[in-house]
Amino acid sequence: MDLQQFLPLSLDRINVWIGVLCTLAIYSLLYRENPLYRFFEHMYIGLAAGYSLGPLGVDILYRYWITPIWVQGQWAWAFLVPFGMYLYFIYSERYGWVSRLVIGALVGTSAGLFFQEFASRYVVQLHSTLSRPLWMSSANPEADLFGVITNWVFIIILVSVLVYFTFSYPQKGVVKNVATAGRWFLMIGLGAIFGNTVMARMALLIGRIYYLLSDWLMIRI
């Protein structure tokens, strides 16, 4: 390894060394809680929040608010931000009702949008579920044995989990058994999600170790 290239003597290398310092400081928590970790944790949060102000100013406020007002003369846009800022009246006991104007507008918009979202998101899934072939016949020429078995497994799991979450009647006898099966299926599903979570966290750790080896120590991987 060339020492001249390794040391922080150029802007690129200074960046890498700062990255290494941040990485090691954050991972120092694994050894024990310490002030260095706390400092870098707060710095990271502050940097992330501060950084987002830049794109917010350039891509949103300048593009969608300042340009229409100052360049295109669409002065009515000037009322938009003050209207949004009415939300902060929520901290005032006397004028708290003003904030409800904004909240009302936001809730109304969200509720309206949700109708479309529900239809596009869930109705398609319901249709997909209800149109699964459960046996092989001339009416379903595309259905193969494996597909039919998979569809039965899907339907059994769907019904069991729905029964588990149905509390309108006492869960006794057969219903209780089906609900118990539903709980087991849920546990398997949650286990799969947790397994994926472990994989994601490992990938993030590997990414940082790769950075230390490849970018800092300049080892060719």
Nearer to other proteins among residue 70 and residue 97 (C-beta) = 70
Tokens of 149: 């078995």
Q: Looking only at residues 40 through 69 of this chain, which bind other proteins when binding is defined by CB under 8 A?
A: 48, 51-52, 54-56, 58-60, 63-64, 67
Residue 83 found at the interface with other proteins (CB under 8 A)? no
Using CB atoms within 10 A of its CB, is residue 89 exposed (0-12), middle (13-18) or buried (19+)? middle
Record the tokens describing residue 204, joined without a space: 């993030």
**Residue 196 binding other proteins, by CB under 8 A:** yes
For other proteins, the closer of residues 27 and 89 by Cβ is 27
Tokens found for residue 119: 């239809």
Is 137 a binder of other proteins (CB under 8 A)? Answer: no
Read off the tokens for 110.
């969200």
Of 4, 116, 137, 138, the one binding other proteins by CB under 8 A: 116
List 11, 30, 111, 139, residue binding other proteins (CB under 8 A): 30
The secondary structure of the chain, three-state, reads CCHHHHCCCCHHHHHHHHHHHHHHHHHHHHCCCCHHHHHHHHHHHHHHHHHHHHHHHHHHHHHHHHHHHHHCCCHHHHHHHHHHHHHHHHHCCCCHHHHHHHHHHHHHHHHHHHHHHHHHHHHHHHHHHHCCCCCCCCCCCCCCHHHHHHHHHHHHHHHHHHHHCCCCCCCCHHHHHHHHHHHHHHHHHHHHHHHHHHHHHHHHHHHHHHHHHHHHCCCCC
Least distance (Å) between residue 98 CB and other proteins: 23
* Choices 35-43, 90-98, 123-131, 174-182; region in contact with other proteins by CB under 8 A: 123-131
Closer to other proteins by Cβ: residue 9 or 81 = 81
Task: State in angstroms the smallest separation of the CB of 221 from other proteins.
Answer: 5
Q: Candidates 76-84, 86-94, 110-118, 178-186 — which segment interacts with other proteins by CB under 8 A?
A: 110-118
Q: Return the residue of 14, 45, 78, 209 that touches other proteins, per CB under 8 A.
A: 209
Tokens 């710095």, residue located: 43
Amino acid, res. 170: P
User: Judged by CB under 8 A, does residue 204 bind other proteins?
Assistant: yes
Taking CB under 8 A as the rule, does residue 144 contact other proteins? no
- What residues make contact with other proteins under the rule CB under 8 A? 30-31, 48, 51-52, 54-56, 58-60, 63-64, 67, 113, 116-117, 120-121, 124-125, 127-129, 189, 192-193, 196-200, 202-210, 213, 219, 221
